[in-house]
Amino acid sequence: MIGIIDYGMGNLGSVVNACRFLELPAEIVAAPDGFSQCRALILPGVGAFGDCVRNLDTRGFTEPLRAWIEADRPLLGICLGLQLLFENSEESPGVPGLGILRGTVRRLPARPGYKIPHMGWNEVEIRRPGPLFADLPSRFHAYFVHTFFVDPADPACVAAETDYTRRYACAVQRGRLAAVQFHPEKSHQAGLTLLRNFARANS
Protein backbone atom coordinates (compact mmCIF):
# COMPACT_ATOMS: atom_id res chain seq x y z
CA MET A 1 0.00 0.00 0.00
CA ILE A 2 1.07 3.59 -0.66
CA GLY A 3 0.39 5.77 2.37
CA ILE A 4 -0.68 9.38 1.76
CA ILE A 5 0.33 11.25 4.90
CA ASP A 6 -2.40 13.34 6.52
CA TYR A 7 -0.88 15.90 8.90
CA GLY A 8 -3.61 18.47 8.41
CA MET A 9 -1.86 20.51 5.69
CA GLY A 10 -2.01 18.43 2.52
CA ASN A 11 -4.15 18.58 -0.59
CA LEU A 12 -5.24 15.01 0.06
CA GLY A 13 -8.38 14.87 -2.07
CA SER A 14 -6.74 15.39 -5.45
CA VAL A 15 -3.84 13.05 -4.60
CA VAL A 16 -6.22 10.31 -3.50
CA ASN A 17 -8.36 10.79 -6.61
CA ALA A 18 -5.33 10.56 -8.90
CA CYS A 19 -4.21 7.34 -7.22
CA ARG A 20 -7.70 5.88 -7.51
CA PHE A 21 -7.87 6.84 -11.20
CA LEU A 22 -4.58 4.97 -11.72
CA GLU A 23 -5.92 2.05 -9.63
CA LEU A 24 -2.99 2.33 -7.25
CA PRO A 25 -3.39 0.80 -3.78
CA ALA A 26 -3.25 4.00 -1.75
CA GLU A 27 -4.77 5.01 1.57
CA ILE A 28 -4.60 8.08 3.82
CA VAL A 29 -2.32 7.57 6.84
CA ALA A 30 -3.33 9.79 9.77
CA ALA A 31 -0.79 8.53 12.33
CA PRO A 32 2.79 7.25 12.07
CA ASP A 33 1.87 3.77 13.30
CA GLY A 34 0.22 3.33 9.90
CA PHE A 35 3.65 3.36 8.23
CA SER A 36 4.06 -0.32 9.05
CA GLN A 37 1.37 -1.19 6.49
CA CYS A 38 2.97 0.88 3.70
CA ARG A 39 5.53 0.03 1.05
CA ALA A 40 5.85 3.70 0.02
CA LEU A 41 4.73 7.11 1.26
CA ILE A 42 3.52 10.33 -0.35
CA LEU A 43 4.07 13.56 1.59
CA PRO A 44 1.83 16.32 0.16
CA GLY A 45 1.73 19.84 1.51
CA VAL A 46 -0.25 23.05 1.17
CA GLY A 47 0.17 26.14 3.35
CA ALA A 48 2.99 27.83 5.23
CA PHE A 49 6.30 26.09 5.95
CA GLY A 50 6.25 26.80 9.68
CA ASP A 51 2.67 25.59 10.13
CA CYS A 52 3.47 22.36 8.30
CA VAL A 53 6.54 21.72 10.45
CA ARG A 54 4.50 22.26 13.61
CA ASN A 55 1.73 19.96 12.41
CA LEU A 56 4.22 17.20 11.60
CA ASP A 57 5.66 17.56 15.12
CA THR A 58 2.26 17.72 16.84
CA ARG A 59 1.03 14.59 15.10
CA GLY A 60 4.22 12.66 15.80
CA PHE A 61 5.37 12.32 12.19
CA THR A 62 8.74 14.07 12.31
CA GLU A 63 11.02 11.34 13.68
CA PRO A 64 9.23 8.42 11.96
CA LEU A 65 9.57 10.29 8.65
CA ARG A 66 13.28 10.85 9.21
CA ALA A 67 13.74 7.18 10.10
CA TRP A 68 11.78 6.07 7.01
CA ILE A 69 13.90 8.19 4.67
CA GLU A 70 17.21 7.36 6.38
CA ALA A 71 16.36 3.67 5.86
CA ASP A 72 16.07 4.50 2.12
CA ARG A 73 12.42 3.57 1.97
CA PRO A 74 10.37 5.13 -0.88
CA LEU A 75 8.85 8.58 -0.38
CA LEU A 76 7.48 11.12 -2.84
CA GLY A 77 7.16 14.72 -1.62
CA ILE A 78 4.76 17.05 -3.42
CA CYS A 79 4.94 20.88 -3.36
CA LEU A 80 5.49 21.84 0.30
CA GLY A 81 6.32 18.17 0.83
CA LEU A 82 9.47 18.93 -1.17
CA GLN A 83 10.32 22.06 0.78
CA LEU A 84 9.92 20.36 4.18
CA LEU A 85 12.81 18.02 3.32
CA PHE A 86 15.28 20.91 3.53
CA GLU A 87 16.94 22.59 6.49
CA ASN A 88 15.04 25.87 6.68
CA SER A 89 12.88 28.34 4.78
CA GLU A 90 12.85 32.10 4.32
CA GLU A 91 9.09 31.84 4.76
CA SER A 92 9.44 30.85 8.43
CA PRO A 93 12.78 32.07 9.85
CA GLY A 94 13.99 30.10 12.84
CA VAL A 95 11.80 27.07 12.09
CA PRO A 96 13.91 24.05 11.12
CA GLY A 97 12.72 21.72 8.40
CA LEU A 98 13.28 17.97 8.39
CA GLY A 99 16.88 18.54 7.30
CA ILE A 100 16.96 15.40 5.16
CA LEU A 101 18.56 17.41 2.34
CA ARG A 102 20.97 20.29 2.87
CA GLY A 103 19.85 23.66 1.59
CA THR A 104 17.39 26.49 2.05
CA VAL A 105 13.91 27.27 0.74
CA ARG A 106 13.98 30.78 -0.77
CA ARG A 107 11.39 33.27 -2.00
CA LEU A 108 11.06 33.61 -5.76
CA PRO A 109 12.62 36.94 -6.74
CA ALA A 110 10.42 39.66 -8.21
CA ARG A 111 10.78 40.23 -11.94
CA PRO A 112 8.84 42.58 -14.25
CA GLY A 113 6.06 40.79 -16.08
CA TYR A 114 5.88 37.87 -13.63
CA LYS A 115 3.27 37.39 -10.93
CA ILE A 116 4.09 35.89 -7.54
CA PRO A 117 3.00 33.29 -6.55
CA HIS A 118 3.98 31.19 -9.54
CA MET A 119 0.62 29.71 -10.49
CA GLY A 120 -0.10 27.73 -13.63
CA TRP A 121 1.60 25.55 -16.22
CA ASN A 122 5.33 25.67 -16.82
CA GLU A 123 7.98 23.57 -18.51
CA VAL A 124 9.94 20.99 -16.54
CA GLU A 125 13.36 20.00 -17.87
CA ILE A 126 14.64 16.62 -16.69
CA ARG A 127 18.29 16.79 -15.56
CA ARG A 128 18.67 13.26 -14.18
CA PRO A 129 16.65 10.69 -16.14
CA GLY A 130 15.53 7.70 -14.14
CA PRO A 131 12.54 5.49 -13.29
CA LEU A 132 10.51 8.43 -11.91
CA PHE A 133 10.56 10.05 -15.36
CA ALA A 134 10.07 6.93 -17.47
CA ASP A 135 7.92 7.48 -20.58
CA LEU A 136 8.14 11.27 -20.17
CA PRO A 137 9.91 13.54 -22.67
CA SER A 138 13.02 15.40 -21.53
CA ARG A 139 10.83 18.51 -21.35
CA PHE A 140 7.19 18.37 -20.27
CA HIS A 141 4.66 20.73 -18.72
CA ALA A 142 3.37 20.52 -15.15
CA TYR A 143 1.14 22.60 -12.89
CA PHE A 144 2.74 24.81 -10.21
CA VAL A 145 1.37 26.82 -7.28
CA HIS A 146 4.11 28.27 -5.05
CA THR A 147 5.97 31.36 -3.85
CA PHE A 148 9.14 29.67 -2.56
CA PHE A 149 11.63 27.35 -4.23
CA VAL A 150 14.31 24.97 -2.96
CA ASP A 151 17.99 25.89 -3.22
CA PRO A 152 19.88 22.63 -2.58
CA ALA A 153 23.43 22.79 -1.24
CA ASP A 154 24.27 19.64 -3.23
CA PRO A 155 23.47 20.02 -6.94
CA ALA A 156 23.80 16.25 -7.38
CA CYS A 157 20.30 15.79 -5.92
CA VAL A 158 18.64 17.99 -8.56
CA ALA A 159 16.55 15.80 -10.88
CA ALA A 160 14.67 18.48 -12.85
CA GLU A 161 14.55 22.25 -13.22
CA THR A 162 12.12 24.92 -14.34
CA ASP A 163 12.33 28.65 -14.92
CA TYR A 164 10.11 31.32 -13.39
CA THR A 165 11.77 34.63 -12.48
CA ARG A 166 14.92 32.46 -12.19
CA ARG A 167 16.02 28.89 -12.89
CA TYR A 168 15.55 26.54 -9.95
CA ALA A 169 15.24 22.90 -8.94
CA CYS A 170 11.68 21.61 -9.27
CA ALA A 171 12.49 17.95 -8.54
CA VAL A 172 15.08 16.24 -6.37
CA GLN A 173 16.13 12.64 -5.88
CA ARG A 174 18.40 10.82 -3.47
CA GLY A 175 18.20 7.07 -3.33
CA ARG A 176 14.52 6.13 -3.10
CA LEU A 177 13.57 9.63 -1.95
CA ALA A 178 12.01 11.86 -4.62
CA ALA A 179 10.14 15.14 -4.39
CA VAL A 180 8.67 17.65 -6.83
CA GLN A 181 7.63 21.29 -6.55
CA PHE A 182 4.82 20.93 -9.07
CA HIS A 183 1.56 19.05 -8.49
CA PRO A 184 1.58 15.76 -10.43
CA GLU A 185 -2.01 15.10 -9.37
CA LYS A 186 -3.02 18.27 -11.26
CA SER A 187 -0.66 17.89 -14.20
CA HIS A 188 -2.84 15.74 -16.46
CA GLN A 189 -1.14 12.90 -18.34
CA ALA A 190 2.43 13.86 -17.46
CA GLY A 191 1.62 13.99 -13.76
CA LEU A 192 -0.30 10.72 -13.83
CA THR A 193 2.65 9.10 -15.59
CA LEU A 194 4.98 10.30 -12.83
CA LEU A 195 2.71 8.95 -10.10
CA ARG A 196 2.43 5.62 -11.92
CA ASN A 197 6.21 5.49 -12.27
CA PHE A 198 6.68 6.11 -8.54
CA ALA A 199 4.30 3.26 -7.75
CA ARG A 200 5.93 0.87 -10.26
CA ALA A 201 9.44 1.63 -9.10
CA ASN A 202 8.46 0.81 -5.52
CA SER A 203 6.07 -2.10 -5.97
Average pLDDT over residues 39-61: 94
Other beta carbons within 10 Å of 116: 15
pTM value > 0.75: yes
Read off the pLDDT of residues 88-107 as tens digits, 9 standing for 90 and up.
999 999 999 999 999 999 99
Range name among 4-18, 29-43, 106-120, 177-191 with the lowest pLDDT average: 4-18
Count of all residues that appear for the chain in the document: 203
On the question of pLDDT at 46 being above 80, the answer is yes
Q: How many domains does the chain have?
A: 1
Give the pairing type, strands 118-126 and 139-146.
Answer: antiparallel
Catalytic residues: 79, 183, 185
**Could you tell me if 145 and 86 are in contact, meaning their C-beta atoms sit under 8 angstroms apart?**
no
Rounded-to-integer distance, Cα 6 and Cα 61, Å = 10
Domain limits for position 125: 2-201
CATH number where 177 lies: 3.40.50.880
Average pLDDT value for residue range 61-85: 97
Give the ranges where 6-163 is alpha helix by DSSP (H). Answer: 12-21, 49-58, 62-70, 80-83
The SS3 of residue 40 is strand
